[in-house]
Amino acid sequence: VETAKRLGIKVLKRSELLGRLLIESKQRVIRVAGSYGKSTTTAMIGSILLSAKLNPTVIVGAYVPSFSSHAVIGKGPYAVVESCEFDSSFLDIPGFVSVITSIEADHMDYYRGGLEEVLGEFSKFSNQTNPNGALVVCEDNENIRNFFMTQHRGEVRTYGLNYGEWQAISSVKCSDKRHSFIVRFREKEFSKFEIALPGQHYVQNALAAIVVSNFIGVGIDAIASGLQQFQGVSRRYDMVIERDGVKVIDDYGHTPFEIYTVVKTIKEEYPNSLLLCVPCLRQFHRTERQIKEFASAMLLADTCVIAPIVRGLGDDESTIDILLSEKLASEIRVSGGIAVSVSSDNEAVSKILKILNMSTAFTKIILTIGSGVSKGVIDLLRKEL
């Protein structure tokens, strides 16, 4: 990059180039932003538009098995794009429809002004939405409900499990790893849908996809078919190993709220199982700042094996190794949980196998979770289980 600049070659951020390409494509862009839930929601909308034979472009920030890629390039009228708030890059993407799944005080290495600055950028994002399009937001999220909605003056479509004009009513049911739920719009029944994913956070994501799809005129049958066919996103509640009563689930959840949500989902799906949580966290500065929240999020697990924390965006020489995994393990123990720390993948697997052998539970769940490196632990478990 430095050489290119010195030679006078123009350098663009990925989001800037992507924004230009989308403008040139003449497609109406459905952009999905939020502190969590955006990859799954983007892929769900894409699955629905493919089911409706609208030949969309779909660009996701994670691998989607049903696409066999991170992206699908289509020639139809719509493009669905995951848009990240880090360094305000989501402002480079044009928006016919804008979706906000959640707003949290994240990326504090960039947003030095805290939550207030983050909210300000999301307000800019929402105000960029095409006047003929739609802004769709999840009112379950406290920061959206208590701050964003009080500041936003334009038209908005809201959804949620507990709040919003579009809701999945309380008769949400989970059976055989599938969720069936009834959607209501302003207290009137809209339709019944089913997804092949456990956890009510996936129902929340599906609601966003339903609202967007309905707005652009996709029929109920195509919406239902697209959701039924959707098999999830890589590293989102991904069952990677299943052997002799032991299941290994891998998930990218990397904020305290996401980790708590995944742990809670597993406890609901496997109520009598042993749940062994293996956090694989990235970013020393974020983990240090939210250590109490991370510890609290893991208390629902029966025990935790804390893998080494690794360097991430925003870490520099002043923050590297400021937090060792033992500090997080200690915080969990102080909060009433059971946790040990390890210094390598081999040590992690050794501890995991010892805990499994001591347990009398019929089903044992190992959850590797975080934006850090879980692959080494999973590869070793494949050999040892």
Q: Is the distance from CB of 57 to CB of 230 less than 8 angstroms?
A: no
Give how far the C-alpha of residue 121 lies from the chain's centroid of Cα atoms, to the nearest Å: 19
Structure pTM? 0.86
For residue 73, what are its two tokens?
Answer: 């390039």
Q: What letters, b where the CB count within 10 A reaches 16 and e where it falls short, cover 90-118?
A: bbbbbbbbbbbbbbbbbbbbbbeeeeebb
* Residue 18: both structure tokens together: 């992507």
Position 152 scores a pLDDT of: 83
SS3 277: strand
Q: What residues does 68 pair with on adjacent strands?
A: none
Q: What is the DSSP letter of 95?
A: -
Please tell me the distance from the alpha carbon of residue 338 to that of residue 322, in angstroms, as a whole number: 23
C-alpha 267/C-alpha 275 separation (Å) is 8
CA-based nearest residue to 293, from 340, 259, 245, 330: 259
Contact call for residues 328 and 294 (beta carbons, < 8 A):
yes
Q: What is the pLDDT of residue 127?
A: 93
| 88: amino acid identity, one letter | S
Written as tens digits, the pLDDT of the chain (385 aa) is: 999 999 999 999 999 999 999 999 999 999 999 988 999 999 999 999 999 999 999 999 989 988 989 999 999 999 999 999 888 899 999 999 999 999 987 766 667 778 888 888 999 999 999 999 999 999 999 999 999 888 887 889 999 999 999 998 855 556 566 788 999 999 899 999 999 888 888 999 999 999 999 999 999 999 999 999 998 898 888 899 999 899 999 998 888 988 999 999 999 889 899 999 999 998 887 788 889 999 999 999 999 999 988 887 767 666 666 667 899 999 999 999 999 999 899 999 999 999 999 999 999 999 999 988 899 999 999 999 8
Give the list of residues 6+ apart from residue 107 with CB closer than 8 angstroms, or none: 85, 86, 87, 118, 313, 314
DSSP 23-76: HHHTPEEEEEE-SSSHHHHHHHHHHHHHHTT---EEEEEEEEGGGTEEEE---S
